Structure 1
Amino acid sequence: MSKKIVLITGASSGIGKETAKELIREGHTVYCAARSLDKMKDLEQISGHPVAVDVTKQETISACVDKIIKEQGRIDVLFNNAGFGLYGSVEETTMEDARYQFEVNLFGLASVTQLVLPHMREKKSGTIINTSSVGGKVYTPLGAWYHATKHAVEGWSDCLRLEVKPFGINVVVIEPGFILTSFGSVLYEPLLQRSGKGPYQKLAHAVAKGIKEQNANTSSPPSVIAKTVLKAVNAANPEIRYAAGKFAKPLIFMRKWLGDKLYDRIIMSQVVK
């Protein structure tokens, strides 16, 4: 197995941090990008390379990519993992919040990719791994803006795959299911602030309760996704998609084969009990 130069965004916690640890243990050179350097001191201690990056700020992305090229001469793997989840009714979510969800989950991912691609093309090799979600294939109430970004990542990645394949570049989509990270806790309070007191309050409280219970009791550890990413990194010919983690494959199966109306009834029956 060749040792690779890897850039991971969103590496300060959860899936990103666990993946960085896994790849570092395997001997890869890993640049760990996130807004907070303090949260990546543990990665530095095990030979990671923390870099301060905000994927919504082009100048920080450019500085990061330039640093890696200057120090290593190439980037073999880009793991676009930075992202967050925004929940709330469509009616009560401000367009400012909705745009920021897209800025991080889609446009930030695209900005990093645009800057890395020329270097991969020059080497005629590389792997771009994008974190989508089972939420990029399914949908849940009050998650319109989050699901919209992840559905967009799916389609964007498919188009990119066709464009860059002639240059020897692989594009891989990771579709995590329920994973035990800060994702659920970050969703919970803002959801209730947006929709917990208005016309959607009954649904909002039911969804918030479900998120809290799911995050505590029915989630896979982030190491499950880290090992999946490692598999894609080490593969000479990686799969196009990897679905992993609690309920990922069953939910995708349901959405594909049950039809819209039956899927709607099943999802709502699990939310409003």
Structure 2
Amino acid sequence: MNKKTGTAREAPFDLAAEFEGARLAARLFGGESAGSYLVAGRLIRFDRLPVGDLGLLTVGFRITDRPREKWTRRFNQFKYGQPSAVRAATRTLCAAFGMFRLDGDPRVVVVSSVPSGQNVVRNDTPASKLASALAGSRGWEWLPHHVTKDRHPSLTGIASAADRDATVDGKYLAAPIGGEPGLVIVVDDFCTRGATFTDIARAIRESNPGWEIQPVSLAKTERAAYWKGELTNAHIPDYLDAAWRGDPAVASPFF
């Protein structure tokens, strides 16, 4: 408790501790728990995505069969490129990482996904705006041209999950980063199954052995009809709601 204001302090989110917590949950409660999520500070963490061997840090859910849900509506506005929503999403993701801590002091670099019709990252894409702002707010290195890829068809019109996964498989390339290995934060706007993150990770690992990889997205795309239990964004704290709205009380020089 803050003695001056009487408000509760949020505990920092330690990534290493969350990794261990997820592993413990999997041991205690079985494999299904490992596929669920944990609230981690102002973020949620998936210990393992459906495709590949990676976990995910994200703000909330884009619930495709509940488009009127408050946060889903906001995420969709971002997806469709509304300028105010892009700015709001950038503020929100940076604010969500305000409690993020790493064990030790590793070198951290940030890269972003590349849109389907492009082969290099442009500074005007939603994912690159999220990535560059996040890097700046945390003092991490932003490497916009480290990841490239072959163009591929948009995943939007591909109905089969397996076909969507195959469309992005083997498309990405990554340049050597150099220096001592550290952590690569890979940013995408939305994550569904993890196929894009998995292919980016493959490319990074091929040219940068020893580096850890952590996927990050604004939201995870899900359908309430397919979810076991109730799917909500009730976990998103009021602080992030204020960040989305641009409340001066949570303003930062970085977002």
**TM-score of the superposed pair, with normalisation by structure 2:** 0.31
> Which protein has greater RCO, CA pairs closer than 8 Å, 6+ apart?
2
Task: Please identify which structure carries the higher strand content.
Answer: 2
Greater helix content: 1
Which of the pair has more CA radius of gyration?
1
Using structure 1 for the length normalisation, give the TM-score. 0.30
